[in-house]
A and B are shown apart, each in its own frame.
Chain A
Amino acid sequence: MDHQAHGLDLSHPVYVHPRRAQFRLQETESPQHYAGHTSPLYPNGVGKTYGLAKFEHEKPSTPNPTLVSHEGFFTDIPGFENLAEGHSAKALGSLSLARQGRWFYWGYSIDPERMTQPAKDTFVNVLYWMHLQRDSETVAFVTNTRKNFEVFTWLGRDRDEPYLRGVQEHLPGSLVPELREHYVPSFDGADAFVAKYLPYLFAGKPGMPTDKKYGPLFDADADAMALKTPNNERASLERWVALADGDSCEDRRRALRCLERYVHPEITPKTGTWTEWYARQKARICFIDSTGFWWQVDPTVRTREARAARVQ
């Protein structure tokens, strides 16, 4: 990443108050390798040109690593703020300004000799914005998200010499051995794998295997697949709840295993029916991949509850 950003929502408080950050956007032809892709700040793609904003006067003299969020690895975390993307040679979707709970990532230098005036103004605003976040709840990282597998289907595919390590090495290396057998290591194989398994992938559960290089290994949920219930959809959770409280049958057993697998132990029902549990938790919960593929308490709900407790 260099010294520039794009995709800024200039109406967000970090660009507005107490300082008005007046970036002069330099309209620039968008890189060819951004074409056809989306990101949290470009849900419909970039277009032929985009506006670059300078956060530093000059390009850094050394590489400047940034957070990678291709296609939005963290968009399933309620309250996560994507506030700018870095000008990345790698791909669209590299975060340079982002917030999760009490943590803000600033991907540029804050040396006043390097910062532009609008960057200084933005940084001052960020400090005030973060002052408001003292009670904001963060969520912990357990595993990469399933979004990785989508990235493998396109990363380096259009090059004259396609980048093959992703589909030949990294994708199968991220799977449990049993699932690896169902994968053909090629771009077409990656397409087919994603089409069939992506809605049912999960990782990071207690007892699941972990690889030294790739971390928690992914499996495909046979129960969820049999029920045709993608594991992160609310309609699936509601189906499992209905089946769990229904008559005994194979689908009920599958649904109970899904509930055990995906409802976080912190909120799993201790008494009563699943229907009663869901009525109590419906407005409080969300599904997050990166915490370990759980239905869990929404961190923004937890934040409100913490703030309410301070008022009492």
Chain B
Amino acid sequence: MKHFVAFLWTFLATAWTVGAQSPFAVEALPLNAPFKVRATADRARLVVDLVFDAGWHAYARDVGGGSPIRIKASGKTPATWLGELVMPASENGELAGYVRLVQRLQLPEHANHLEAALDIMVCDALQCLPPMTLQIAGDIKRSRVLLVADVVDEHATRVRDFLTAEGFEVDSTTYPSVTAETCDAHDVVVCDSKLFGSVKMDGVRQFPKTRSPIVAVGFLGTELLEGQGLAMTSGYI
């Protein structure tokens, strides 16, 4: 039975091979606009990445030259916007080059769709283009978490159940079984550990290289960070 459960965990992990969350649709952006946009969201934040062509900028605040960037909820979105739009610091109020905008939000449990309107006015040294309103829309899936444990046991099951109850879509696997493809297919990878002295270390030092963000937990977390050769664990004396 224990072997079957282990197989099932590994199967569940490898069966999920679709990529991490997809970008939202952005509409009403003119083909010749001097900037590009990419938007993504999870249940906590809407993230809008902008890249302005050389010489062009937008405004972080009203400096008398043009309307500042704003993002507001639109359409049937049930989201509540929390706090101010977070954008890079800018001494003169201008945003140029690469710019990340982050809007914290709160969604009701049942909500799975988000629509927003991005008001933006862009200028270069000679002119400002007419203000634009871009429509951003997309489905919000639950964030996909891959839980990696040393073995399948009651502890690992409790952690998986905890994360599931917190609204994450959780797949599980073990250190000896995890692959880079499985990690890459998840939004975040949680590498768990029981207490020092009660964990199995098989496969930890061989953990695959992945582009996914990793949360390394406890004792195995330190082993993992060292094994990955990250500048984070030096300094033991």
Contact = CB atoms under 8 A, between A and B. Distances in A.
Interface of A: 17-18, 60-70, 73-74, 77, 80, 98, 100-113, 120, 124, 126-128, 130-134, 136, 138-145, 147-148, 151-152, 155, 166, 170, 288, 290-291, 304-305, 307-308, 310-312
A134 B97 contact: no
Given A131-B42, A141-B232, 20 more contacts: A18-B44, A60-B196, A65-B219, A65-B222, A67-B225, A69-B235, A73-B234, A100-B230, A102-B213, A104-B213, A105-B225, A106-B221, A108-B218, A109-B195, A113-B158, A120-B166, A127-B168, A134-B212, A138-B231, A308-B51
Interface residues of B, number: 61
B102 to A, nearest CB: 8
A138 B42 contact: no
5 contacts: A68-B236, A103-B216, A112-B162, A144-B234, A311-B98
A62 B82 CA distance: 41
Q: DSSP majority for the B interface?
A: mixed
Contact of A128 (B42, B229, B234): B42
Interface stretch (B63-71, B127-135, B172-180, B185-193): B185-193
A188 B40 CA distance: 57
* Highest count of chain B CB atoms <10 Å: which of A113, A134, A142: A134
B211 interface: yes
Nearest to B214: A103
Contacts of A128: 42-45, 143
B229 A130 contact: no
Nearest 5 interchain pairs by C-beta: A308-B98, A130-B213, A112-B162, A290-B231, A128-B44
A127 B216 CA distance: 11
Interface of B: 20, 36-38, 42-45, 47, 49-51, 82, 97-98, 100, 102, 104, 106, 143, 145, 155, 158-159, 161-163, 166, 168, 187-188, 190, 192-198, 211-219, 221-222, 225, 228-237
Given A124-B166, A132-B45, A141 B219 contact: no
Contacts of A65: 196, 219, 222
Contact of B213 (A98, A136, A141, A144): A136
B231 A139 contact: yes
Given A105-B216, A106-B218, A151-B237, A17 B230 contact: no
Contacts of B50: 311
A179 B62 CA distance: 59
Given A105-B222, A143-B234, A110 B217 contact: yes
A85 B86 CA distance: 27
Contacts of B228: 103
Contact of B232 (A67, A134, A304): A67
Contacts of B222: 65-67, 105
Given A106-B215, A140-B229, A305-B98, A68 B195 contact: no
Contacts of B45: 17, 128, 132
Contacts of A98: 232
Contacts of B158: 111-113
Nearest to B48: A311
